[in-house]
Amino acid sequence: MFFVKILKESDAEALLNPKVAEPAEGEEVKEEVSEEDDDDGDDDGEEKKEMLAFDPAKLIAAEVIDLDNGTYEVKYKVDSEEPVKIWVYYQTEDE
């Protein structure tokens, strides 16, 4: 099954490069553990990709149509000439 997510370019940039608030003076900064540093001993050699956290209010509606010949068609309509960013995700039946 395919999932298509479409955002205006400005919304996509905000999603991909979120602004990080600077800590206030005297505020303690917590360090996040990266996936590389996370050594839980569970290394099966396969990395599972997660979907980005899209804001549903900013998504551009899209319809994915299976043409039953190995191809798909995606229909969407935008209300401005601003460029868009498109993400295509595939999920197998067993996931």
Tell me the pLDDT tens digit for each residue of 17-28.
887 766 667 666
Please answer whether residues 9 and 92 qualify as being in contact, where contact means their C-beta atoms are separated by less than 8 angstroms: no
Print burial letters for 32-64: b (CB count within 10 Å at least 16), e (below 16). eeeeeeeeeeeeeeeeeeeeeeeeeeeebeeee
| Residues ≥6 apart with Cβ < 8 Å to 87 | 4, 5, 6, 51, 52
pTM: 0.64
| φ, ψ of residue 14 in degrees (nearest 5) | -65, -35
Tell me the pLDDT tens digit for each residue of 46-78.
666 677 889 999 999 999 999 999 999 999 999
